[in-house]
Amino acid sequence: MIRTSMRTHAQCDGSSAVVSATASEVDCHPGWFGEPANRLFGWLARPAAGEVRGGVVLCPPLAVDYYASHATYRRLAEQLAGAGVASLRFDYLGTGDSGGRPGELTTLGQWIDDIGRAVHLLRSAGTATVGLVGMRMGALLAAEYARTHPVDHLVLWDPCLSGRAFMRQSRLLLEQGGAPSEPGARAPGAEVQSGDVLFGYDLEESLLQELAGLRLDTHPPSLGPTLVLTRSGTLGAKQSGWAEAANVEVGTATGQPELLETFLDAALIPQGTVDLIVDRIVQAHARRGPGPGYSTPASAPVLDQSTEVGNSSGHAVAERVCRPAGLFGIETGPGRDEAEFSVLFVSGGVQTHIGPNRLHAELARDLASDGVRCVRFDFLGLGDSPPGPLENIDCMFGPGNLDDLRVLSDLAAPDAKNLAVVGLCSGGYHALETGWLASARGVVAVHPSLDFRRSTGREHLYRSDRRIWIPERGWMAWLDRSRIGLAVKWHLPAWAWRALSVLRLQPDYAGGIVGLAAEGTEVVVMLEPHTMRYPWLWNLRRSGRAGLRVEPSPADHSLVECEGRAEVAARIRSEVLRWKSSLPAR
């Protein structure tokens, strides 16, 4: 159980004001539920006092909206619990920390059944009334479930009008080279695979067709109080049945562009909309009970702290909830067999522990069947770890992250020569730093951030023990801040960059990485093809240091494209198994 006091972050108007925190405490329980063949992962938030007014299942959106809405769903869940309403946020089968893989799903009914399993979990604990909240495609899935199953209330939050429209939008964004929340997703004009239309979900064509057929019907299901929140505050003519129903309230979903149509690290929680939803849900439960203050004792539903899940080879591996260094994490291992080698996965940006498009979750399960123990976690203030700094940059590169990584590496593998560290983007930067901290056997840095400098606005993040920190050069800082300077930077010939490197007049992007390899840690750096051409990385590409390999990556920056992500995963797995095989015989 994790007990936390609710707090809020910056509001969606762009201000840095902090909304007053509520004093109510909530109990948060993570774990798995459902049948052995369909293990779902969820987080239950409930009043610490144990008495509840009702329950709510939070149906997550799909694809990139899933990642962008994570912090908002967590805020909503904890705020509901503070108001006396138990809430369960969960991952559909084949997504997040739940069992299965997207490619194993064949019908939409499997995800609809997942909503039913979540509802059953709340009802089995004595929660008298249970409602649903869904955002975007999660709203369509919630409405689809409500057509054939009784629910006490329903909230459709910025619902997609149809699955076909959502998939068309995803396909257009992919064809144009990316999405607001996933910069540099692919090269413009690259061929789009069928499984890529949902940004990294490698789904069967049959399921894609069913998703495309979802739509808000002209006639709403017969159910209890319903709140439909759209960006315009109105519904179109095709949804007139919803607008005219007596039990349906139509309102405005404020703050959605600031939540979904920006980079993930700039997304802002739409606090006004969260408050509105909490208020309407509390009212709905009050109408079902004897009065506004009505509540009943309810036991905490059983969420398993450990489970078995299958991997891509069909092998069952063991997973358990862990809290390394006070953070939230998942440990995956070969089960009863003792693992000889460990991997620490470090997430990049504001991504959660499941990794970019679930890379860490799926790769950890595959490596577990190879006898490798894997740990994936969330940094302080990100994902499901305790609250941290209000600014995302402070969470992504916080000075305390190095202390956490030192503890994490010791917990993952007491013998550092049995440890590999893997990360993407800022996670790649931290993987390299962890290599120094732990003297790890190997590091795989995928598309690492190599320009982390003590520049304006980042002075408070500086630590003298950062080894991959780039020393600031005044003239380079000027180049980066002006259009003329950027033009000069891009047009300097390679021989000029080599000369600057020899004279130590440019920031040394290679020094910390070459030094790490010199200390005996094998380093593999995967750079995007266009990054490989950066002339100022010449000293990294041409270092010639034994134990350091710099190679072009086969994937887009955020590993959205299924085929490229699969190849990156295969390369990482190959390196880890090579390092594992080099261990002395026991």
Mean local confidence (pLDDT), 379-395: 81
Tokens of 450: 């190599």
Q: Please state whether 556 falls in left (phi above 0), alpha (psi between -120 and 50) or beta.
A: beta
Measured CA to CA, the distance from residue 61 to residue 159 in angstroms comes to 9
Euclidean distance between CA atoms 162 and 185, whole angstroms: 24
Q: What pLDDT, on a 0 to 100 scale, did the predictor assign at position 482?
A: 73
pLDDT at 535 over 50: yes
Take residue 375 and report the two structure tokens written for it: 């740990």
Q: How confident is the model at residue 2 (pLDDT cuts 50, 70, 90)?
A: very low
Dist. CA 127–CA 186, nearest whole Å: 46
- Rounded alpha-carbon distances, angstroms, from residue 455 to 458, 462, 470: 6, 10, 10
Are 8 and 269 contacting, i.e. CB atoms less than 8 angstroms apart? yes
* Per-residue pLDDT tens over the stretch 484-506: 777 777 677 767 767 776 776 66
Residue 9, token pair as written in the block: 């972050």
Q: How far is CA 334 from CA 103, 372, 586, in A?
A: 23, 7, 18
Q: 89 — phi, psi (to 5°)?
A: -105, 140
Q: 3-state class of 109 per DSSP? A: helix
CA 306 from centre of chain? 21
pLDDT of residue 495: 75
Digit-coded pLDDT (tens) for 423-448 = 999 999 999 999 999 999 999 999 99
Q: In what order do the strands lie in the sheet with 40-47?
A: 2-5, 25-33, 40-47, 85-90, 54-59, 130-135, 154-157, 226-230, 248-252
pLDDT tier at 251 (50, 70, 90 boundaries)? Answer: very high
Going by C-alpha positions, the residue among 441, 440, 434, 445 that lies closest to residue 403 is: 434
Higher pLDDT, residue 272 or 216: 272
Q: Look up residue 47 and give its amino acid.
A: P
> For all residues of the chain together, what is the average pLDDT?
83
167, 358, 37, 208 alpha-carbon torsion, rounded to 10°? 10
Q: What is the pLDDT of residue 37?
A: 87
Query: DSSP states of 429-485 as a string?
Result: HHHHHHHHHHT-SEEEEES-----B--TT-GGG--TT-SSPBPP-HHHHHHHHSHHH
pLDDT of residue 6: 35
pTM for this predicted structure = 0.89
State the pLDDT confidence band at 268, using cuts at 50, 70 and 90: very high
Q: What integer pLDDT is reported at residue 392 of this predicted model?
A: 63
The pLDDT confidence band at residue 14, using thresholds 50, 70 and 90, is very low
Are 421 and 438 a contacting pair, CB within 8 Å?
A: yes
Look-up of token digits 């707090």: 7
Which of the listed ranges 66-80, 204-218, 535-549 does the model predict with the highest average pLDDT?
66-80
Span 2-8+19-297: which CATH code?
Answer: 3.40.50.1820
Q: Nearest-CA neighbor of 63 among 226, 223, 177, 173?
A: 173
Strands 154-157 and 2-5: unpaired
The mean pLDDT of 391-410, rounded to a whole number, is: 83
Fold matches, 2-8+19-297 and 306-472+508-581: yes
User: pLDDT at position 197, please?
Assistant: 58
Residue 186: band (very low, low, confident or very high) from pLDDT cuts 50, 70, 90: very low
User: Residue 219 pLDDT > 70, yes or no?
Assistant: no
DSSP 385: S
Instruction: Give the pairing type, strands 40-47 and 85-90.
Output: antiparallel
Assign 25 a pLDDT band (cuts: 50, 70, 90).
confident
Specify the CATH class of 306-472+508-581 in words. Answer: alpha beta
- Residue pLDDT, tens place only, 339-375: 889 999 999 988 899 999 999 999 999 999 999 999 9
Domain assignments of the chain as residue spans, ordered by start? 2-8+19-297, 306-472+508-581, 473-506
